[in-house]
Structure 1
Amino acid sequence: MADYVQVLTTTESCEDAYQLAHQLVSAGYAAVVQVNGPVVSIYRRDGVGVEAQQWQLLLRTVSTHVRAIEEHIRAHNAQDVAAIVVTPIVGGDDDYLKWVDGQTGGLTQ
């Protein structure tokens, strides 16, 4: 089987989240994108506390697409620093992972 990952990112608006999700699935970069939100992110920026409403996207894909996904997110994200976190998927239902392969052009071994 291919190596699988989840990619977590955020956008500043619901519209941006849906647009990005559709782009990533249509391009075959992600098998599925779940859009959650709004969520509230609390962090420090330039020494100042920030509380921001964001939309969170969780993608499932094959590891060979990670670079292209990161580039796409950076190019289509209004944030100064795009939040991109990649987590390996260490197990899962074989049929589901084969489906991820099929949706993303991954190679099932």
Structure 2
Amino acid sequence: MTLSLLITTMGSREEAESLAREMLGQRLAACVQLEPITSLYRWEGSVEFEEEVRMTFKTTTARVPALRRAVLEEHPYDEPEIIVLEAAGASDGYAAWVEKEVKGTPAH
């Protein structure tokens, strides 16, 4: 079984926590880490400077398509960052925990 990380950003801690709880409730991720960051980027011809929250979802590779769809559905940005990375070398125990958590019955 292979683990993956899906990374996105949100504009506020409240939005990030809400999205994290929704994805955990749907059992699309076993864990979501939230980190405050500062983003500078070019958007529609201007350089933007924003305080954001980086979200790192930990899931199985098999659950990535459903997680990706759900994040895109719920995301408020016009063009959200969605980056998926394969998580190589996870410990057996951690990988088993992630797999168990995303295979359970959704909370709602």
TM-score under structure 1 normalisation? 0.90
The amino acid that maps onto 2:59 is: T
Q: Deviations over 1:27-63 (max 9, x none)?
A: 11001001111x1110001121011111111111011
Structure 1 residue ranges (4+ consecutive) displaced by more than 3 angstroms after TM superposition? none
Structure 2 gaps of 5+ residues are none
> What residue is the counterpart of 1:8 in the other structure?
7
Distance 1:76 1:45 in 2: 21
Q: Secondary structure at the match of 1:60?
A: strand
**CA–CA distance in structure 2, aligned partners of residues 12 and 44 of structure 1:** 16
**Cα displacement string for residues 70-89 of structure 1 (whole angstroms, at most 9, x for unaligned residues):** 11111111111011110001
| Aligned AA (1:105) | K
Note the C-alpha offset of 1:7.
0.8
* Residue of 85, 100, 103 corresponding to 2:101: 103
Structure 1: gaps of 5 or more residues: none
RMSD of equivalent CA atoms: 1.2
* Percent of paired sites with the same residue: 26
In structure 2, what is the Cα distance between the partners aligned to 1:97 and 1:86? 17
Cα distance in 2, alignment partners of residues 3 and 93 from structure 1:
11
Contact 2:3–2:90 (Cα < 8 Å) also in 1: no
Residues of 1 paired with 2:75 and 2:88: CA distance? 29
- Return the TM-score normalized by structure 2: 0.91
Residues in 2 aligned to 1:83 and 1:21: alpha-carbon distance in whole angstroms:
15
| Superposition map of 1:1-109 within 5 A | 2-37=1-36, 39-105=37-103
